[in-house]
Amino acid sequence: MHPTRDAASSAQTPTRGRLVLLGGGGHAAVVAESARSAGFTIVGVAGADAPPPDAPFAGVPWLGDPDGAASSAIESLVLGGAKLHAAAGDAAVRSRWVARFGRAAFATVVDPSAIVSPSAQIEAGAFIGPLSAVNARARVGVAAIVNTRAVVEHDCAVCDFAHVSPGAVLCGAVTLGEGAQVGAGAVVLPRQSVGARSIVGAGAVLVESIGASVVAVGVPARVRG
Please provide residue 7's backbone torsions phi and psi, each rounded to the nearest 5 degrees: -65, -40
Angle, in degrees to the nearest 10, between helices 91-101 and 71-79 = 60
Which is catalytic among the residues 27, 85, 154, 163? Answer: 154
- Is the distance from CB of 155 to CB of 176 less than 8 angstroms? no
Report the C-alpha gap between 94 and 141 in whole angstroms.
12
- Is the distance from CB of 21 to CB of 31 less than 8 angstroms? yes
Has 154 been annotated as catalytic? yes
Encode burial over 140-152: b for 16+ CB neighbours within 10 A, e otherwise.
Answer: bbbbbbbbbbbbb
Report the C-alpha gap between 122 and 96 in whole angstroms.
20
Which residues sit opposite 41 in a β-bridge? 18
Residues with catalytic function: 154
